[in-house]
Amino acid sequence: MDTDEHKIELIMSLRAQGIRDTRVLEAIEKVPRENFLPDSVRPMAYADQALPIECGQTISQPFIVAYMTEKLQLTDLTKVLEVGTGSGYQTAVLSYLCRRVYTIERYRTLAKAAEKRLAALNRRNVTAMIGDGTMGWPAKGTTFERIIVTACAPAGRIPPALFDQLAEGGRMLIPVEFSADRQVLQLIERTETGFERQSLLPVRFVPLLEGIARAE
């Protein structure tokens, strides 16, 4: 079976699991997931599972990528903050669906590799930086209509900066740890009077850590 057939099977699987937004499915179809993987796991590029990448991190399961992206409810005018660039795969998917993606990665190795991959795909609406994602985007006063976090907030503590940078009417998707063996994906919406939270489904993500990683 060739790559295109594997990709078609994946799209059909995502549909069967409830992903209905055709724009999201089309974006996933456009992005060559194999380009975002180490050689050792490339043959598994279109398996619906998380896979290991450099620096002890992972590339998320395609269903989770599709699900989180769909829940963001993106438009061509949306400005998105992504915390945790990782391989750049989620970034690439987002880039097909919104006006601009601002993405932060704490590992220099991952950030540089992701930028090269995104450039090779001619994704020009991505602004990337190496930094501490728990602090959000460093430009003072910046807010985003959408925030997506691809690492788990430990002990239920979502960084205050992410609340501050979520615009009124905005949506944030973030995995939250409730116990050592329980993480839940949460949708947080900012209203005129505060924040509303909704728990969506159990997930498994690497922890959201402060600072820039010392190791490359």
Per-residue pLDDT of the chain (216 residues; tens, 9 = 90+): 677 899 999 999 999 999 999 999 999 999 999 999 999 999 999 999 999 999 999 999 999 999 999 999 999 999 999 999 999 999 999 999 999 999 999 999 999 999 999 999 999 999 999 999 999 998 888 999 999 999 999 988 999 999 999 999 999 999 999 988 899 999 999 999 999 999 999 999 999 999 888 755
Q: What is the CATH number of the domain that holds 188?
A: 3.40.50.150
| Residue 41 lies inside a defined structural domain of this protein | yes
| Residue 175 lies inside a defined structural domain of this protein | yes
Is residue 95 within 8 A of residue 49, CB to CB? The reply is no
| Residue 212 lies inside a defined structural domain of this protein | no
| Residue 185 lies inside a defined structural domain of this protein | yes
How confident is the model at residue 104, as a pLDDT? Answer: 98
How confident is the model at residue 156, as a pLDDT? Answer: 87
> Which residues are known catalytic residues?
60
In this prediction the pTM is 0.95
How confident is the model at residue 140, as a pLDDT? Answer: 80
| Residue 16 lies inside a defined structural domain of this protein | yes
Rounded to whole angstroms, the Cα distance separating 20 from 67 reads: 10
How confident is the model at residue 216, as a pLDDT? Answer: 56
Give CA 2 to chain center in angstroms. 27
- Cβ neighbors of 95 (< 8 A, separation 6 or more) are 101, 118, 123, 125, 126
How confident is the model at residue 1, as a pLDDT? Answer: 60
How confident is the model at residue 215, as a pLDDT? Answer: 59
| Residue 214 lies inside a defined structural domain of this protein | no
How confident is the model at residue 180, as a pLDDT? Answer: 83
Domain count, the chain: 1
Structure tokens at 181: 């063996």
State residue 98 phi and psi, 5-degree precision. -140, 175
| Residue 48 lies inside a defined structural domain of this protein | yes
| Residue 118 lies inside a defined structural domain of this protein | yes
39: containing domain: 3-203
How confident is the model at residue 151, as a pLDDT? Answer: 96
